Amino acid sequence: MSLPSPSVSTTPELEPVPPPPTEPSAADRAVDLALRVVGGVVAVVAAAVTVVLELILSMLRVGGALIGVSVLVTVLANVALGWFAPRVVGRRWALALPAVVWFALMVVAAGGTSEGDVLIAADNWVGLVMIFAGSVTFAIMGFRMLMNPPGPESRQLGL
């Protein structure tokens, strides 16, 4: 007794070949550039806003003692900014946009005015740790970006 054999086609089935990608029009390129620029501006503004929030939280006290909630907020915000900026701008160097703004504003906040006003006092350990943690966070984000070669999805984004 023999078993029936499955029918086998002698011609292989060919999948349809997708058409080659078309070159984007000038209007598409202009819109893409405008969105990238707007994304970079949003990253810079977000960095400035997070600095203000972090400075406010650096003076937060519970029972008269400073608490370090601003350090956690700083690390989380800088990781988010470090992820966001290169994605929306489409270039790896865009990580520097929020990093430079964040660091410059922290330096200004740590320095005093001629009247003696300071935003981060020398006896505020939270402010000093916040500056250190935020700087290290951006450094690690940049290091990881440099050490990881761009994959296929990054090449699509232009990173």
Residue 82 pLDDT level (bands cut at 50, 70, 90): very high
What pTM does this model have? 0.76
Closest to 73 in 3D by CA, of 60, 63, 85: 60
Q: What is the pLDDT of residues 62-77, one digit of tens each?
A: 888 888 899 999 999 9
pLDDT of 153 higher than 60? no
Q: Report how far residue 41's alpha carbon sits from residue 35's, in angstroms, rounded to the nearest whole number.
A: 10
Residue 59 pLDDT level (bands cut at 50, 70, 90): confident
DSSP annotation string for the chain: --PPPPP--SSPPPPPPPPPPPPPPHHHHHHHHHHHHHHHHHHHHHHHHHHHHHHHHHT-EETTEE--HHHHHHHHHHHHHHHHHHHHH-SGGGGHHHHHHHHHHHHHHHSPPTT---SS-TT-HHHHHHHHHHHHHHHHHHHHHHHSPP-HHHHHHT-
Domain segments of the chain as ranges: 46-157
Query: What is the model's pLDDT at position 151?
Result: 64
Query: What is the model's pLDDT at position 23?
Result: 84
